[in-house]
Amino acid sequence: MKAIHQFIDSNVHPLFKEGSKLEKYWPVYDGFYTFLFTPGHPADGKAHIRDGVDLKRTMNTVITALIPTLLFGMWNVGYHHFNAIGIDATFFEQFLFGAIKVIPMVVVSYGVGLGIEFLFCVIKGHQIEEGYLVSGMLIPLIMPVDLPLWMLALSVAFAVIIGKEVFGGTGMNIFNPALLARAFAFFAYPTYMSGDKVWINTTGTEGMMAVDGFSGATALGEYATTGVSQYSALDAFIGIIPGSVGETSVIAIMLGAGLLLFTGIASWRIMLSAVLGGVVMGLIFNAVAPFALSAEQQAFMAVPFWQQLVMGGFAFGVVYMATDPVSGSQTDTGKYVYGFLIGFLSIMIRVFNPAYPEGVMLAILFMNTMAPLVDHYVIQANIKKREQRLALKTATA
Amino acid sequence: MADVLEKKEEAKDLLVDKQPKEPLFSKKNRKLLNDPLNDNNPITVQVLGICSALAITVKLYPALVMSISVLFVMAAGNVIVSLMRNFIPNRIRIIVQLVVVASLVALVDQVLKAFVYDVSKELSVFVGLIITNCIIMGRLEAFALGNTVWKSFLDGIGNAFGYAWILLAVSFFRELLGSGTLFGFQVVPDAWYLANGGFYSNNGFMLLPPMALITVGIIIWVQRARNTKLIEE
């Protein structure tokens, strides 16, 4: 990386510099340059140390971490499509079909979201912020592949305007914008966001219909309604289950999580405690399963806790959404509480309310609301502790 | 203590009664009518009566009925309390106001049940809850108790219209986007719907109360963007 950076600095840089041939294109070059590398901006004013990781860099890392899930999601869409209509397809055909379905979603998400952001920047007269870069990638990944594009566009508009701009733009939002987009679509167009018809595209190939006995329900949906699923925990771990585009593969998510943790972009405290919360709730359910009210619920409660963690959007939500630095807790202790409750509530909601199998979305949005409260109590406790220490010191002195 | 209070009340009454005669629609009186429509709207500026604004704005028709009911209760309540203002003992004024409003609401409730039964069923508890509508109590307490009958009447009408237009605006958007109808008539073409081979789908979120709150919020946003007087420092 360093070598490439040096090469560009010494060889490409002069081409665009003032007085050189390509001077006109400096803004474009600069835009891409700062997109890829940390600009060498010196600190002005009093001396202070500036971290090389700026907002653009943070956003880029998260997007890079999302690429495995995106690629896997594309392939998974195609795989399930050809499975459902009963055609043997090569790996390449599957991937191509998925790409044709998913890329328009990404384009619409970015187009609408960035368009609104730019519009607000122009009206409000402030600098263009990079805030939407990650949300724009997250939103298509947490939607079902069959969602009509205009609904996606509307959800994006809602998330950016009501979720972010009314609060003052990037860094001011109280909710995770991507999840808000999903929640909007979920409540506005429930038939497109849940059930057993939306997760697998069956109409993309001309003249073909779904084969007999085909069921398009997600693993979670099957558990919630019948208490059994045709997908094993291993299927869910690898990701060959129906679901929102990017949420299915725990392996791909773990690759992303690895990068986020290695670079320190995402908080390991939140991830760890959220998984712990899920495990605890899963174990509680396992323990109380014999006392469940209905047979289906009993079967769902008896699902081993580790299988709960790999199904549905739990892993995706915990890794990419719960760790959102803006809407999450800011204090270290608060992060443990915040993460733990996300994991805990996710599993609870999905088991107790079959209408909302995707508990992780509601759990994270709920904890987004609670994060400032958690922080408040953590800070108050710290103040009290220090006051006591001070009182002790003055008493002994 | 009670003596002092009574004397104060008397002094206030004298002040009010000795005001010079003014035309029925003087500038001041017109302001009583206009102010609640925009600058001092009971819902978007004072943020009162939000509860019913969220609950009964799913469809236009119930919202209209509700608006008319509130209009009647407010105008009549303001007039009655204003008529009695010199006889109401200060300590029990809230109780007296409540009795007045409650009897009016009972009246409205019976009329609705008699003439528009289905809407009355739809509005259910919210007709009864007009009694506790903060706008009505607020106007009685803040205005009718200290002003002449005509002025109180204007104030009641003005505030009721301020309440009504927000209610109607919110329910317009909620019914149009949530059900595709206006006053029960299909507005969105049938051919647009997915079941008929179209692409459109009603927005179910619009039928839920949170979206009413957001719609009110957007109205407040637009109002403040246009009316810079309302922007707090």
Q: Give B132-154 pLDDT, tens digit per residue.
A: 888 888 888 888 888 888 889 99
Mean pLDDT within A199-203: 77
Interchain contact, A188 vs B206, CB within 8 Å? yes
Is A187 near chain B, with CB under 8 Å? yes
Q: Which residue of A has its CA nearest to B205?
A: A188
Q: Which residues pair with B182 in a beta bridge?
A: B185
Of A233 and A136, which is predicted with more confidence? A136
Structural domains in chain B (count):
1
Chain A CB contacts of B199 under 8 Å are: 148, 150
Confidence class of residue A379 from pLDDT cuts 50, 70 and 90? Answer: very high
Chain B CB contacts of A168 under 8 Å are: none
Mean pLDDT within A112-122: 84
The boundaries of the domain holding residue B35 are: 22-230
Chain B CB contacts of A188 under 8 Å are: 203-206
Q: What pLDDT, on a 0 to 100 scale, did the predictor assign at position A386?
A: 92
Q: What pLDDT, on a 0 to 100 scale, did the predictor assign at position A24?
A: 61
CA distances from A24 to A33, A39, A122, B218 (A): 15, 19, 23, 43
Suggest the residue from A187, A194, A369 to mutate for an interface test with chain B (most B CBs closer than 10 A). Answer: A187
Mean pLDDT within A351-358: 78
The candidate with the shortest Cα–Cα distance to A310, out of A350, A259, A362, is: A350
Interchain contact, A166 vs B221, CB within 8 Å? yes
What are residue B193's phi and psi, to 5 degrees?
Answer: -70, 150
Domain limits, chain A: 2-36, 55-209+220-377
Q: Which residue of B has its CA nearest to A192?
A: B201
Suggest the residue from B202, B203, B207, B214 to mutate for an interface test with chain A (most A CBs closer than 10 A). Answer: B203
Chain A CB contacts of B225 under 8 Å are: none
Question: Is the pLDDT score of A384 beyond 90?
Answer: yes
CA B59, chain centre distance (Å): 17
Confidence class of residue B11 from pLDDT cuts 50, 70 and 90? Answer: low
Nearest to B204 among A148, A166, A190 (CB): A190
Q: What pLDDT, on a 0 to 100 scale, did the predictor assign at position A207?
A: 63
| Closest CA–CA distance from residue B204 to any residue of chain A (Å) | 4
Q: What pLDDT, on a 0 to 100 scale, did the predictor assign at position B77?
A: 92
Q: What pLDDT, on a 0 to 100 scale, did the predictor assign at position B127?
A: 84
Q: B107: Cβ–Cβ under 8 A, 6 or more apart, which residues?
A: none
Q: Which residue of B has its CA nearest to A193?
A: B204
Q: What pLDDT, on a 0 to 100 scale, did the predictor assign at position A182?
A: 92
Q: What pLDDT, on a 0 to 100 scale, did the predictor assign at position A47?
A: 59
Lowest-pLDDT range of A53-57, A162-166, A218-222:
A53-57
Amino acid at A250: V
Nearest to A188 among B199, B204, B217 (CB): B204
ipTM for this prediction? 0.77
Q: Which residue of B has its CA nearest to A186?
A: B205
Q: What pLDDT, on a 0 to 100 scale, did the predictor assign at position A251?
A: 92
**Which burial class, exposed, middle or buried, applies to A163 when counting CB atoms under 10 A from its CB (0-12, 13-18, 19+)?**
buried
The candidate with the shortest Cα–Cα distance to B167, out of B37, B38, B78, B43, is: B43
pLDDT in tens, A46-91: 656 666 667 777 888 888 899 999 999 999 988 888 888 888 888 8
**Which burial class, exposed, middle or buried, applies to A290 when counting CB atoms under 10 A from its CB (0-12, 13-18, 19+)?**
exposed
Is A189 near chain B, with CB under 8 Å? yes
Nearest to A187 among B201, B208, B217 (CB): B208
Interchain contact, A189 vs B201, CB within 8 Å? yes
- Give the integer Cα–Cα distance in Å for B45 and A324: 34
Q: What pLDDT, on a 0 to 100 scale, did the predictor assign at position A385?
A: 92
Interchain contact, B203 vs A189, CB within 8 Å? yes
Question: Is the pLDDT score of A174 beyond 60?
Answer: yes
Suggest the residue from B200, B205, B211 to mutate for an interface test with chain A (most A CBs closer than 10 A). Answer: B205
Q: Which residues pair with B185 in a beta bridge?
A: B182
Contact A237, A310 (CB under 8 A): yes
User: Is B2 among the domain residues?
Assistant: no
Q: Which single residue is written with the structure tokens 């693993």?
A: A219
| pTM of the complete model | 0.81
Chain B CB contacts of A189 under 8 Å are: 201, 203-204
Interchain contact, A188 vs B214, CB within 8 Å? no
Q: Which residue of B has its CA nearest to A183?
A: B205
- Give the integer Cα–Cα distance in Å for A154 and B50: 26
Interchain contact, B205 vs A188, CB within 8 Å? yes
Confidence class of residue B168 from pLDDT cuts 50, 70 and 90? Answer: very high
Suggest the residue from A167, A180, A182, A189 to mutate for an interface test with chain B (most B CBs closer than 10 A). Answer: A189
Of A42 and B30, which is predicted with more confidence? B30
Contact A360, A346 (CB under 8 A): yes
CA B136, chain centre distance (Å): 7
Interchain contact, B214 vs A162, CB within 8 Å? yes
Residues 197-226 of B with CB under 8 A from A: 199, 201, 203-206, 208, 214, 217, 221
Chain B CB contacts of A174 under 8 Å are: none
| Closest CA–CA distance from residue B194 to any residue of chain A (Å) | 11
Interchain contact, B205 vs A184, CB within 8 Å? yes
Interchain contact, A166 vs B206, CB within 8 Å? no
Interchain contact, A166 vs B208, CB within 8 Å? no
pLDDT in tens, B73-129: 999 999 999 998 888 888 888 899 999 999 999 999 999 999 988 888 888 788 888
Chain A CB contacts of B205 under 8 Å are: 184, 187-188
Is A191 near chain B, with CB under 8 Å? yes
| Closest CA–CA distance from residue A365 to any residue of chain B (Å) | 14
Q: Which residue of A has its CA nearest to B207?
A: A188
User: Is B220 among the domain residues?
Assistant: yes
Nearest to A189 among B204, B208, B221 (CB): B204
**String of DSSP letters for A226-270:** HS--SS-HHHHHHT-S--STTTS-HHHHHHHHHHHHHHT-S-HHH
